[in-house]
Chains A and B, each alone.
Chain A
Amino acid sequence: MKTSFKLTYLLIALIPFFTISCKKQLEDDYYNPDKSQTASIETMFGKFSTLSRYHMQYWDLTTLQKSTVGVYTQILGYSNGAGRYNPSDTYTLDHWNRFYTEILQLYREMEKTYNGLDQTGKNNYKHIMIAADAILISELAKKTDMWGDIPFSEAGFIRNSNQIIFPKYDSQQDIYTFMLAKLKENAGILESSLEPTPVGSKMLAKADFIYGGNVGKWQKFINSLRLRLLVRIKGTPELGSMANQEITTILNNPTKNPLIETNADNALISAKGPDLFAIDGQHEGGPRGGFAGVVAGKAILNVLKKGTFVDPRLQTLFGKNKNGHYAGLDPMSTSTTEVSDSLNNQLYSFVDSAALRFNNFLPGVLFTAAETQLLKAEILQGTQSETAFKNGIKLSVDWYYYVRNLNTKSNGVEVGTLTPPTDAEKETIANYYYTNYYQNPAIGKDEAIGIQRWIHFGPLQMYEAWSDMRRYNHPMLSYVKDSGIAPTPIDRFKYPSKEYADNINMSQQIKDNDKLYNKVWWDK
């Protein structure tokens, strides 16, 4: 009996110890052991520069690109069903949310961390932030070009405030002003101090999956991005003259403002292996599912293959049909039965399986050298323009063969690589387009350049192609009119209805202007 008394007192005496150890245990167990409680700028940048958003991702391709920008640009074939030009609200919301919750939220977190550093820390991380700015702006421009006015200056800050925020909408002009100022400022910094601190250099090299820490290449990307954005707004009454001036400054001082001139300098997020970019056919996977069943539009095939002429890029873009021919889906065909029968019977050209659909190494594209040339071709005059036009085509050919030859397997079947065209062959191709399009008075310089940019952007940069076509109005394409609220390809996306429901800071003016055919600012 005494033993049990002793036992009781012992247990009672143990209660305080139990309480104390318990308290500590409770606090420790609050934290998720499989998540990190801290993060530094370079580890965040590592993710920021490889987000699946920049890739040819299954989900966005399937739910949005295929049915919107792919249709508006006719880079892809589509059948003329009802509502063909009207984007789905759900998928639009998805695209919208992905930008703010994945890209911008992470950027804001890096920004916050950076702002909390002392001067030495800031010096070490400055170049990473400059690189991050460039990636952010490349994506931000895409969003404002899709919608026009969007939340930005107050957006993405949830973690700074710890409470619900309702970001206001910034005008597209303000966003462009911000983007160009930021890029210019950063270009200026790199011009004067290209080299990061030794620590900064190590950090950047480790986390930079785009250029491996090569700041010189980042400088080229930043200036090329400036050029793209400046060209886009050069026609606006508000910022047009500033833009034209800047363009001239950039093009006249190539040493101070180097651009992406060779494919080696392309801003790409490569798919180096299963860790970096897992193509698995799942929702976050790659083009395997996204490009499944996607066929060529007739308009683009008509350019790539005309009479005896065959553009060497054709075999890297589209495959032959069941009968061994190239056949695109006619965007003017209203016979849905005929179209679906032909689709079912594989009578159209599919998006190329080795180069695009089953290419496990397909990179995400931010900027390529051919675009620089084709932008120059538009701005410059005379022989400078002609040279740029031809160089653009040659670089584009090289680019597509580079993409194709990253991969040697199509759906598990070994297909080897393709021999790229020789310089002489490329010259012939460039001259063909120069003679038959650029110089052809029935077509003209602008249409010729527009067509080349259209082909070059192709299935890999359809958002870019759509923006360029809205501004430049080239190439000129025909569409069947639909009944309903979107009779023709739209001029901008409507804001997701969830934003209406949740963002109390969405002004009446923003709501009133939220129409499919209200052109965005630079398109007016």
Chain B
Amino acid sequence: MSLFYKRTAGLALCTLFSATSLYAQQSISGTVSDANGPISGATVSVKGTTRGTQTAANGSFTIQASQGETLRISIVGYKSQEIVVGATKTINIKLNEDAGALDEVVVTAMGIKKDQRKLGYAVSTVKAEDIQEGSPSIGASLYGKAPGVRIQSSPGGQIAASSIVIRGQNSISFSRQPLIILDGVPIRNGEANTKGMWDESRIMGNGLLDVNPNDIESISILKGAPASALYGSEALGGVLVITTKKGSKKEGLGIDFNMNMQSERLAFIPDFQYEFGPGYGWTGPSGLLTNGADNDGFLKTTGRDGKQYIRPWMSSWGNFGPKFDNRDVMWWDGEIRQYSAQPDGMKKLYDNGNTNNYSLSVSNAGDLGSFRFSYNRNDFNGIMPGSKQNRNNFSFNSSLNISKKLTFDLTTSYINTYTLNRPYLINNVNAYGYNLAEKADVVRSRYKTSEGYKFTTNKSFDPKEYFLYSTSASQYMDNILWNNLENQDIAKENRFISSATLNFKPIDPLSFRFRVGNDYTSSNSETKNRNSRNVAFENSGYYGTNNGSQRVTYGDFLTSYNKTFNDFELGLSLGAMLKQEQDQNTSLGTAGGLVQENFFSLNNSVDRLTTGFGRRKVTRSGFFGIGTLGYKNQLFAELAVRRESSSTLPKKNNTFTYPSGSLSWIISESLANKPLWLNYAKLRTAFGFVGNDLTAYAANNAYNQQTINGVIVNYLPTVYGNDFIKPERKREFEVGLESKVLDNRVGIDITYYNNLIKDQITYIDVPGSSGVTSMLSNLAKMSNYGLEIGLNVNPVRNERWNYDIGINFSFNRNKISELPTGGQYLKLADVDNSSLMVVATPNKAYGDIMTYSYKYDQNGNKLVDGDGYYIKDNVPTVHGNVTPKGIGGITNSVSFDTGHGKIGLTALIDYRIGGDIFSLSNYQNTASGKLATTLQGRDAARGGISYYVDANSRNVAIEPGGTVPSNAKFGGRIFDNGIIADGYTMDGKKNTYVLEAADYYLTNNYWTSGIYDHQIYDNSYVKFRELTLSYTLSSKLAAKLRARNVTLSLIGRNLFYIYKNVPNIDPESAIGTTPREMGIDRYGIPTTRSYGFSLKFGI
């Protein structure tokens, strides 16, 4: 940890502030108006000072300013203007309306735009310029950008889902990704990669990946219940309100071209040992010598040519065999090869990946309205052999001014995706082996025969090319190479998202808005598995097809009334929404193999086709009202209430109401004598409720139905729903302070929040003897509290240089306060038959890691049994927790204007403090002797104890020069790979039993029987996440190229860790979007780093 603190401290640089000199002030007056007449309430301020005023009802103002100072005129809904004070003392300003101006306007719930100042709750905004060029996805682009927002993207590149968790864990069982609102319409996102290797063997994506980061204008992150409550149940985990780019009047016709090319490289290979090859040690039941190897550890064999050879034990999972000595040995395929270390053996199993992205956009705006059209093409090739994705995004945004009172907005996007062979989880490859002697080029060339069938060890299948011996690489050849290079898993998706909005302002204070939206995905996938054997020998091959559609239909209505009376501003909105989600999926597949080889058709099935069908429909509706009251532009109050209905809940409980309220006090406005250094200060507080429903049909207790030989039969699921279930209810309180000081050079935003989620819906474990194993209940309660700090510092700001530092930090503490189960904990996830579990325990934080540790004596010493092995405790105990304690990011941006152009450098570092991870790959790689750490004790030089094996097969330690009894096994050979487990026997004596190193590592880390406690690590890290070095031509130079702007950037992502604690793996190795899965590294697939360049060209 100390290293971590040093590095962060180093980054919090001391700053110097330039002094501002003052000129003689004079009175400047004027009026502010727009096309329709004067504007009242506009802020007129002198830039860089604290002087400011507001325009009166007739739009007039008076302010003190000196020549050369800049006046800034701003008001919500208009584009701000700046005017340098010259000789004239009267300045009339005409402001242009700008709906897209997001300078101080934030988009809040239901798409209502509000002045940031008036908000009583925390909203973080991420703007287009904050998103790195070439970000693989929206999720991944948010790392470290907003306090309280935790991102974790799964390994697997840009086609893997990323998880977004806002303000910690909100639900024990029905955790939710934040609701995604795209141009006012909720779109499909969802959890992914949570089913485990057996049920989902490839890395999947989720819906947010389809939104093109290039099209984003801004993202508002609504965090707490008061901010998100208007969106209802689905907003329990927060909301991302995404606004896409529109055509702009100021810039006129614009054509932008953007090209982006990146390479993707394997980032992490565990620290393996490169000295010992395959085998399970020398002695013991599966030892080399026991199994007939020679004294060097090689087995004898006869080659295809009838000659005698030696061979290493290549099918061995363990790597405790003979040292690599470069001698010629017979390989599993019968060829003669060198027995040598393969330092790049693992790396070569993966390809070099790359991503090419091209986008083109055309936009324009005029009196009639505006439009923007964009096309984006993305070609992705991952590091996993055979994985690729091509995606086309078309988007069209338009706004039509039908009349002064009526506008119509239409945003549409069409996304077409072709995905071939999603990355395959390599967990099983690792679990089954791939020993350190395997040669990647041999593996990659021998996985199929020259006839195009899968490799075989069966002589009758292929007398020429069959493998003489089985190999530890067979899982890799089968699951990765054969599956991804010969078989095809093709997924085609067509997604259409649209949002149409009609704004109508019949008379001044009154406005109406109608919106309908749609998110429709039709997907079609095909699986073509080639015949792995000649049909003469065996039936094989498969063809399957899957057709599905996912539809979100949405509509809302909002009527607003806004009026200013003297010192008061009054706002009233009433609205309603209706949302329906409908999914359907049909699958058909061959059974028993393909009759005719590699003819991929449903007509080619050996047995009767298998079929599958599933559907889901959820309807939600809501009515809501919002009242706002402002006083003297200083004090703002808001009250909101929503009445929601959800079809996922039983009739009697399906409608529920919850209120929220907030207050914002702009202290800086109220101060009579505002100090010079203070530019802005606001205190805010909010309190609110939000409900949460559950997944479709989870509560409905119904009978499964099937037909058996034409007879209908019914039976019951073994999990009990609950026809009395109530919605969850989350109560949240927050208080925050926003301030800008020292000439707006330092900005701070602090939020404290606490929440309580009661009536938590969980599946609680019930005794199986009750008739079911678990049931839905409302009995759990959970709470969170935390602090979010955002700090912006602008230490250098002059004509040529600008330096911005953005720091954010947040911590969250979670506690499960009630969890009524007969047992002490509720299992959320597990590894290896519950050898290790992630659990929820009453009065503890969500996500304790529980496992069976060593058994200790009363002095705290590990106990060993009569054979010298550690004794494993028979009661599981807590050894960590998956939830991080703190997260955040630090952005440093420097720009330098050379006169011909601007050089920019942006570096983003993100970090995580605390939270543990269990590493299954470390566990397995220790058991199999792959890790360099397992070298300890393998020979005398590495502390191995010398011993011989006595007649009773017991290892007996021997001093140098000691005598070996004549009846000792293995010819009285003295071995030097002994380890004595550090512990005490039951009778209190120091353990003296010698174990062979292989035995020691294997036994302590074996599947289910070993001690999993070893491999739980604090998962704190500091990562150099993003680096961008860009050069933007000055407009003068750009004009010579007949361009509006030209920018060339070099980009790096996921570059390296400044600090990490977990050895051998990437702290982000875990796959799965649920927080419980984020604490388990199941060795999904290796992570990558990427780098490349981008060129932006606008005309």
- Residues of chain A contacted by B770 (CB below 8 angstroms): 100, 155-158, 164-167
Is there an interface contact between B715 and A44, defined as CB atoms closer than 8 Å?
yes
Is there an interface contact between B720 and A159, defined as CB atoms closer than 8 Å?
yes
- Residues of chain A contacted by B608 (CB below 8 angstroms): 274
**Residue of A with least CB distance to B290:** A337
With contacts A274-B608, A336-B285 taken as known, whether A93 is within 8 angstroms of B705 at the C-beta atoms is: no
A402 at interface, CB cutoff 8 A: no
Nearest Cβ on chain A to B646's Cβ, whole angstroms: 7
Q: How far is the CA of A109 from the CA of B614 in the complex (A)?
A: 26
- Residues of chain B contacted by A35 (CB below 8 angstroms): 697, 700, 702-705
- Residues of chain B contacted by A106 (CB below 8 angstroms): 715-716
B1042 at interface, CB cutoff 8 A: no
A residues 64-116 in Cβ contact with B at 8 Å: 88, 90, 93, 96-97, 100-102, 104-106, 108-109
B746 at interface, CB cutoff 8 A: no
From B286, B291, B539, B775, A412 is in contact (CB under 8 Å) with B539
B22 at interface, CB cutoff 8 A: no
With contacts A8-B504, A30-B648, A273-B709 taken as known, whether A158 is within 8 angstroms of B766 at the C-beta atoms is: yes
From A104, A151, A162, B724 is in contact (CB under 8 Å) with A162
* A–B pairs, 27, beta carbons within 8 Å: A4-B405, A5-B506, A11-B514, A15-B557, A15-B576, A22-B578, A26-B645, A27-B651, A29-B618, A31-B700, A34-B705, A37-B702, A37-B703, A46-B714, A93-B768, A97-B718, A109-B716, A156-B771, A158-B771, A165-B770, A166-B770, A337-B286, A499-B767, A499-B768, A499-B769, A501-B822, A502-B765
- Residues of chain A contacted by B713 (CB below 8 angstroms): 43-44, 46-47, 50, 207
A272 at interface, CB cutoff 8 A: yes
From B557, B647, B768, A29 is in contact (CB under 8 Å) with B647
Shortest beta-carbon contacts, A-B, top 8: A501-B823, A29-B647, A46-B713, A39-B714, A35-B702, A105-B771, A503-B767, A97-B768
Is there an interface contact between A101 and B768, defined as CB atoms closer than 8 Å?
yes
Is there an interface contact between B821 and A34, defined as CB atoms closer than 8 Å?
no
- Of B504, B618, B648, B702, the most chain A CB neighbours within 10 A belong to B702
Is there an interface contact between A501 and B578, defined as CB atoms closer than 8 Å?
no
A32 at interface, CB cutoff 8 A: yes
B26 at interface, CB cutoff 8 A: no
Nearest Cβ on chain B to A265's Cβ, whole angstroms: 22
Nearest Cβ on chain A to B14's Cβ, whole angstroms: 56
Is there an interface contact between B822 and A502, defined as CB atoms closer than 8 Å?
yes
Q: How far is the CA of A157 from the CA of B767 in the complex (A)?
A: 12
B536 at interface, CB cutoff 8 A: no
Nearest Cβ on chain B to A44's Cβ, whole angstroms: 5
- Residues of chain B contacted by A306 (CB below 8 angstroms): none
From B645, B716, B769, A167 is in contact (CB under 8 Å) with B769
- Residues of chain B contacted by A151 (CB below 8 angstroms): 767, 769
Is there an interface contact between B716 and A97, defined as CB atoms closer than 8 Å?
no
A189 at interface, CB cutoff 8 A: no
B592-609, CB under 8 A of A: which get 1 and which 0?
000000000000000110
B12 at interface, CB cutoff 8 A: no
Is there an interface contact between B619 and A26, defined as CB atoms closer than 8 Å?
yes
Is there an interface contact between B771 and A100, defined as CB atoms closer than 8 Å?
yes
With contacts A46-B712, A156-B769 taken as known, whether A23 is within 8 angstroms of B647 at the C-beta atoms is: no
Is there an interface contact between B702 and A36, defined as CB atoms closer than 8 Å?
yes
Is there an interface contact between A501 and B824, defined as CB atoms closer than 8 Å?
yes
Is there an interface contact between A30 and B773, defined as CB atoms closer than 8 Å?
no
Is there an interface contact between B711 and A46, defined as CB atoms closer than 8 Å?
yes
A residues 237-274 in Cβ contact with B at 8 Å: 272-274
Q: How far is the CA of A156 from the CA of B613 in the complex (A)?
A: 30
Is there an interface contact between A97 and B619, defined as CB atoms closer than 8 Å?
no
A residues 91-146 in Cβ contact with B at 8 Å: 93, 96-97, 100-102, 104-106, 108-109
Q: How far is the CA of A219 from the CA of B61 in the complex (A)?
A: 103
Is there an interface contact between B823 and A8, defined as CB atoms closer than 8 Å?
no
Nearest Cβ on chain B to A156's Cβ, whole angstroms: 4
B1002 at interface, CB cutoff 8 A: no
Q: How far is the CA of A1 from the CA of B405 in the complex (A)?
A: 8
A504 at interface, CB cutoff 8 A: yes
Q: How far is the CA of A159 from the CA of B715 in the complex (A)?
A: 13
**Residue of A with least CB distance to B286:** A337
- Residues of chain A contacted by B20 (CB below 8 angstroms): none
Is there an interface contact between B651 and A30, defined as CB atoms closer than 8 Å?
yes
- Residues of chain B contacted by A18 (CB below 8 angstroms): 576, 578
A59 at interface, CB cutoff 8 A: no
- Residues of chain B contacted by A97 (CB below 8 angstroms): 718, 768, 773
Is there an interface contact between A46 and B406, defined as CB atoms closer than 8 Å?
no
B722 at interface, CB cutoff 8 A: yes
With contacts A35-B703, A39-B714, A105-B771 taken as known, whether A501 is within 8 angstroms of B646 at the C-beta atoms is: no
- Residues of chain A contacted by B185 (CB below 8 angstroms): none
Is there an interface contact between B771 and A32, defined as CB atoms closer than 8 Å?
no
Is there an interface contact between B821 and A159, defined as CB atoms closer than 8 Å?
no
B772 at interface, CB cutoff 8 A: yes
Nearest Cβ on chain A to B588's Cβ, whole angstroms: 16
Q: How far is the CA of A100 from the CA of B719 in the complex (A)?
A: 12
Q: How far is the CA of A444 from the CA of B965 in the complex (A)?
A: 51
Is there an interface contact between A498 and B768, defined as CB atoms closer than 8 Å?
yes
Q: How far is the CA of A100 from the CA of B770 in the complex (A)?
A: 7
Is there an interface contact between B647 and A498, defined as CB atoms closer than 8 Å?
no
Nearest Cβ on chain A to B816's Cβ, whole angstroms: 17
Q: How far is the CA of A47 from the CA of B703 in the complex (A)?
A: 11
B268 at interface, CB cutoff 8 A: no
B621 at interface, CB cutoff 8 A: yes
B663 at interface, CB cutoff 8 A: no
B705-743, CB under 8 A of A: which get 1 and which 0?
111110111111010101110000000000000000000
Nearest Cβ on chain A to B820's Cβ, whole angstroms: 8
Nearest Cβ on chain A to B751's Cβ, whole angstroms: 35
- Residues of chain B contacted by A96 (CB below 8 angstroms): 768-769
Nearest Cβ on chain A to B283's Cβ, whole angstroms: 12
Is there an interface contact between B406 and A4, defined as CB atoms closer than 8 Å?
yes
Is there an interface contact between A39 and B703, defined as CB atoms closer than 8 Å?
yes
A383 at interface, CB cutoff 8 A: no
A33 at interface, CB cutoff 8 A: yes
Q: How far is the CA of A90 from the CA of B713 in the complex (A)?
A: 30
B885 at interface, CB cutoff 8 A: no
From B647, B712, B775, B833, A30 is in contact (CB under 8 Å) with B647
A275 at interface, CB cutoff 8 A: yes
Is there an interface contact between A337 and B771, defined as CB atoms closer than 8 Å?
no
Is there an interface contact between B720 and A90, defined as CB atoms closer than 8 Å?
no
A276 at interface, CB cutoff 8 A: yes
A308 at interface, CB cutoff 8 A: no
From B619, B645, B705, B720, A158 is in contact (CB under 8 Å) with B720
Q: How far is the CA of A339 from the CA of B14 in the complex (A)?
A: 73
Q: How far is the CA of A318 from the CA of B809 in the complex (A)?
A: 68
- Residues of chain A contacted by B701 (CB below 8 angstroms): 159
A209 at interface, CB cutoff 8 A: yes
A481 at interface, CB cutoff 8 A: no
- Residues of chain B contacted by A29 (CB below 8 angstroms): 617-619, 647, 696
Is there an interface contact between A503 and B769, defined as CB atoms closer than 8 Å?
yes
B417-459, CB under 8 A of A: which get 1 and which 0?
0000000000000000000000000000000000000000000
**Residue of A with least CB distance to B618:** A29
B636-658, CB under 8 A of A: which get 1 and which 0?
00000000011111110010000
Is there an interface contact between B650 and A30, defined as CB atoms closer than 8 Å?
yes
Nearest Cβ on chain B to A495's Cβ, whole angstroms: 10
Q: How far is the CA of A26 from the CA of B619 in the complex (A)?
A: 6
Is there an interface contact between B654 and A504, defined as CB atoms closer than 8 Å?
no
Q: How far is the CA of A153 from the CA of B909 in the complex (A)?
A: 62
Nearest Cβ on chain B to A200's Cβ, whole angstroms: 16
With contacts A36-B703, A498-B765 taken as known, whether A43 is within 8 angstroms of B771 at the C-beta atoms is: no
Nearest Cβ on chain A to B538's Cβ, whole angstroms: 8
With contacts A162-B723, A337-B285, A504-B822 taken as known, whether A108 is within 8 angstroms of B711 at the C-beta atoms is: no
A5-B506, A31-B702, A35-B700 known; 6 new pairs, CB 8 Å cut-off, are A26-B646, A34-B613, A47-B708, A100-B768, A156-B770, A157-B771
Is there an interface contact between B823 and A498, defined as CB atoms closer than 8 Å?
yes
A206 at interface, CB cutoff 8 A: yes
